Structure 1
Amino acid sequence: MLFGSRTGFGLEFHVERDPGLLCVDVFVGGLHVNTWDNAFYPPLLVKKLKDELSRFRTPTAPPVGFTSPSEAFRIAESWMYDDASTGTSSGPEAALARCVFLEWGECTDEVTAFAFPDGDRIHLACRVRDGGGAAWGTEAGREPTVVSVSRTLLLETLERGLVIAEREWAARLAAIKARSDTGDGEDVSSVRSP
């Protein structure tokens, strides 16, 4: 099940792949950003999708310092990873860095992504990192993957993803509880709900 698009922003669910986790491929501008791991812990994914939805519900002006998605990405990435930050949370660099996106746990640990609001548009910019270290292709001249999508389309993609994530998590909890009730499974009290 693909929501959104692979060339814009997309979430492709593979609900049949794992009984305990939720397999979701994430795409930004044609880049598959989590090829190394797509098995999300369902309650974490539910929480993160809700968090992203709350961020983008209302049209917002671009952050201070925004000139273009590529340049904003360069500034925010540098501020976050090159120890350029002074520890202050003010200033244009910090404002751009607060637009961080896709911080959804282990499955997206290897991508640096930002979602820069711009009224009814959201500019997504990302780069995949090598083993948690420096970003792939950070050499001069290599731009991040950038795509602009309508805020409405981004919200629809996140909302549809949230419906599936909540439904699948509820089904998994019910299965765990059923196994627990019959003595065949784990103790459902040890599994937290989002």
Structure 2
Amino acid sequence: MSFGSRTGFGLEFHVERDSQLLCVDVFLGGLHVNPWDNAFYPPLLVKKLKDELGRLRTPTVPPVLFTSPSAFFRLAESWMDDDAGAGLTPEAETALARCEFLDWGECTHQVTALAFPEGDRVHLVCRVYESGAAGGVEAPSEPTAVSVSRTAFTETLERGLAVAEREWSVRLAALRARGDLRDGGDMSGRPADGER
């Protein structure tokens, strides 16, 4: 199941691949941002998709200090690395924090991504960090950037959320039917002690 587009923002679900996790490939500006690990923990993915929709569904003005997606991304990276960002105002730091995107757990740990809203557009910029041969981390020289309509962006997230919620409810029912959840297991999907 595919939603959105690989060249803009897209989610490709592979629900048949794992009985407990939810396999989803994430694409941004033609870049496959999680090729090393696409097996998400379903309740975490549900929560993260809801969070993204809550933040980015409504049209807003560009963030403080926004000049271009790539320039603002570099400023945000400096702020995240605690380099040049130390001199930012609290308002600018809050604006940068609101733009963080794809912080969806282990599957996206090697991605720094930001979503900058601007009216009816959302500018998406990311940089994927790859493990180097000596165990270090290397980054591509330029971030990947793309602008998409807010409508297409939110529809992709909404359709992805619907699949994630449905698949998690199916998996949760199967776990309960097999007795894999302890008595009193909650609907949040938090694993019991010793489970993944």
Shared fold by TM > 0.5? yes
TM-score (norm 1): 0.88
Gapped regions of structure 1 (runs ≥ 5): none
Name the SS for the 1:143 alignment partner: coil
Task: List alignment gaps of at least 5 residues for structure 2.
Answer: 190-196
2:43 and 2:168 in contact (8 A); partners too: yes
Contact 1:65–1:93 (8 Å) recurs in 2:
no
In the TM superposition, what are the counterparts of 1:69-84 in structure 2 within 5 Å? 69-84=69-84
Q: Is the 8 A contact 2:75 2:85 kept in 1?
A: no
Alpha carbon RMSD of aligned pairs, Å? 2.2
What does residue 170 of structure 2 align with? 171
The answer to whether the Cα contact below 8 Å between 2:37 and 2:107 also exists between their aligned partners in 1 is: yes
Residues 1:105 and 2:105 are matched in the alignment: yes
1:1-194 pair list within 5 angstroms: 1-86=1-86, 90-92=90-92, 95-131=95-131, 136-137=139-140, 142-180=141-179, 185-187=180-182, 189-190=184-185, 192-193=187-188
**C-alpha distance in 1 between matches for 2:21 and 2:96:** 32
**1:66·1:72 contact (CA, 8 Å) conserved in 2?**
yes
Q: 2:163 is aligned with what amino acid?
A: I
1:116 counterpart SS class: strand
- 1:177–1:188: 8 Å Cα contact kept in structure 2? no
How many residue pairs match? The answer is 186
Deviation at 1:98, TM superposition (A): 3.1
Deviations 1:156-175 (A, max 9, x none): 00000000000000000111
| Contact in 2 for aligned 1:88/1:94 (Cα 8 Å) | no
Query: Post-superposition, which runs of at least 4 consecutive aligned residues in structure 1 deviate over 6 A?
Result: none
Identity of aligned residues (%): 69
AA aligned to 1:160 is R
Distance 1:49 1:56 in 2: 11
